[in-house]
Each structure stands twice: as structure tokens, then as C-alpha cells.
Amino acid sequence: MIKLIDLLIEQESILISRRSPEERRKNHLIATHKKIQQYIKDGGKGDLNLYNTKITSLPQGLTVGGYLDLYNTKITSLPQGLTVGDYLDLYNTKITSLPQDLKVGGDLSLQYTSITSLPQGLTVGGELYLQNTSITSLPQGLTVGGELYLQNTPLSKNNTIEQIKTMALGVKGDIRI
């Protein structure tokens, strides 16, 4: 019986973290930055999954050949020169604006962000998801290869579908309000 209790105490002590929460966050952020640097070193091919990390910024001129997953991160802005070959997921991030020269080959998700406007001439190869944002207008020169989702935005609440269609001449798919 005593050996069993000693074993349980020993197992419990193994589970006690030896690092502070701040140290664990710092180490996690360092590991995330190393992951990005390795991705760049490998030529920017394939997907870059940073989902649910504490990352707050990305390097200037980053090119992601596939999917860039920033879902539920602490990112507040994107760097100039960012190019994403496929899907850019910014769902539930702290992002408030996009760089003027952003290029997205696939879908762009800005759902549940604090974004209020888009840059002029933005081109999205696939769908553009703006649900549950504070978007009030669409920029000149907006091009969307797929559908545009505007549910639960000031834009959809304050305009008719006909008014939105005149603002969104470059949208090739349906507009969902």
C-alpha cells in the first residue's frame, strides 16, 4: 500500500510544470517564429499553419504557396508584400486593416475581426468572408473570384442587395447578405 502511495505521489510530481506561464508563452512564441523561418528557408511551399498561436506579426514580404492559417491568433496587422497562394484565414483575430498590396489566390476569411475597411484594388481569387465584421463599405477595384459574404455587417444592414451590387461590380459570384 505504501509503495502505491509513493508511486502516485511520484506520478503527480511529474505532472507539475517546472516553467512559469510566462516562460511557456515565450518558448511557444520562439518555436512559432522558428517554424516561420524554417518555412521561408524551405521556399515557402505548401501550407503555413499558425492556428491558435500567440503570434502578433509576420515578416515583411512573406510568400505562402498554400494556405496561411492565422485563425484565433493575436495577429494585429499583416506585413507589406504578403502573398498567399491559397486560403488566408484571419477568423477571430485582432486584425484591423489589410496591407494595400495583399495578394490572396484563394479564399479570404475576415469573420469575427475588427476590420472596418478593405484596401482599394483588393483581389481575392476565391470567396471573401466578411460576416460579423464592422465593414461599412467596399473599396473601388475590389475583385472577388467567388462569392461575397456580408451577413451581420453594417454594410448589409444599411444597404439593399441592389445597392451593394453597384458597389461590388468586381464580384463574380453571388453576394450573400
What is the C-alpha end-to-end distance of the chain, expressed in Å? 67
Q: Where are the domains of the chain?
A: 44-176
User: Is residue 13 scored above 60 in pLDDT?
Assistant: no
Rounded Cα distance between 93 and 76, Å, is 7
Q: Could you read off the pLDDT of 144-162 as tens digits, one per residue?
A: 999 999 999 999 999 999 9
Q: Residue 158 CB: number of other CB atoms within 10 A?
A: 11
Instruction: Give the per-residue pLDDT at 2.
Output: 59
Rounded Cα distance between 49 and 54, Å, is 13
Q: Supply the pTM of this predicted model.
A: 0.85
Q: Residue 59 CB: number of other CB atoms within 10 A?
A: 12
pLDDT class of 9 with cuts at 50, 70, 90: low
User: What mean pLDDT do residues 67-72 have?
Assistant: 97
Instruction: Give the per-residue pLDDT at 7.
Output: 53
Instruction: Give the per-residue pLDDT at 11.
Output: 58
Rounded Cα distance between 67 and 112, Å, is 19
Instruction: Give the per-residue pLDDT at 166.
Output: 94
User: Is residue 70 scored above 70 in pLDDT?
Assistant: yes
The mean of the pLDDT values for the chain is 90
Please give the CATH number for the structural domain made up of 44-176: 3.80.10.10
User: How far is the CA of 144 from the CAs of 9, 103, 130, 140, 156, in angstroms?
Assistant: 60, 12, 12, 12, 17
Q: What is the DSSP string of 5-66?
A: HHHHHHHHHHHS-SS-HHHHHHHHHHHHHHHHHHHHHTTS-S-EE-TT-------TT-EESS
